[in-house]
Amino acid sequence: MATLRTFGLAKSSPEQSICEESHHLLEAMEEKKGEPFDPVPLLNNAVANIICQIMFGRRFDYSDHDFQSMLKNLTEMAYLEGSIWALLYDAFPALMKRLPGPHNGIFSNSKSLEASIRREIERHKLDLDPSNPRDYIDTFLIEERRNKYSQLGFDDGNLVLCCLDMFLAGSETTSKTLQWGLIYLIKNPHIQGKRACLGEGLARMELFLFFVSLFQKLDFSTLDGVELSTEGVIGATRTPHPFKIYAKAR
């Protein structure tokens, strides 16, 4: 938890890593050249890579076979854990252990993911520098060495499970939220990247303070019988038609 809170362990900050990964995601989408495509695999790739950078200290190319194998196991595992089969297993574990069914895929997927994580852990042990931790695994291994004979849970088995938890909790959830976000933005194109103005903060402050100071002291109205137009004149900005007002003290 301390490592995740103060993640300045890698050479770049999480914000920088996310921005860099967003460029890879953008490039992958641009390669579709405007043709229809399923965004889910690309979103899964991008989000999972952020967790990989935190845990493993590196990102994977979207075409990397091992990376895709991990994502496949992760997606299937997350789906099965929310299925009726998993609920039945939780309710009747002794019985469900003996029965065939999709719930068994949870365990096979988990074992494959654990094997991938163990390979990363072994790779980290080869060039571990206790004075310069690169990522979550390095930090855990350093603590493991410091607490070699304690019962604090710093061992390889627990490290694998912690990494697996972070994958499940930090990849699927964010990817699914991005997927729903795309759906809602497509259904509401008037909301959909809408631009942000560099001077928006200043403009909002001016509008608020000018209006408040004016309306605190004055009542505004127009000439009797005149109906103010809300159509406006189109130019670089939308300009109201010329109008005159009364400003009377409250």
34 bridge partner residues: none
Measure the CA–CA gap between 41 and 29, rounded to whole angstroms. 11
Residue numbers of the chain with a pLDDT score lower than 70: 3-13, 236
Q: What is the per-residue pLDDT for 233?
A: 82
Task: Residue 139: name the closest of 116, 112, 114, 166 by CA.
Answer: 166
pTM of model > 0.85 = no
Q: What is the per-residue pLDDT for 62?
A: 95
Selected from 1.10.3720.10, 1.10.630.10, 3.40.50.2300, 1.10.3470.10, the CATH number assigned to the domain covering 2-187 reads 1.10.630.10
CB neighbourhood size of 115 (10 A): 12
CA distances to 180, 181, 193, 200, 234 from 190, in Å: 17, 14, 10, 18, 19
Q: Where are the domains of the chain?
A: 2-187, 203-249
Q: What is the per-residue pLDDT for 9?
A: 47
Q: What is the per-residue pLDDT for 150?
A: 74
Residue 115 CA, distance from chain mean position: 25
**107: helix, coil or strand?**
helix
221 bridge partner residues: 246
Instruction: Tell the burial category of 103 from Cβ atoms under 10 Å away from its Cβ (0-12, 13-18, 19+).
Output: buried
Measure the CA–CA gap between 46 and 25, rounded to whole angstroms. 6
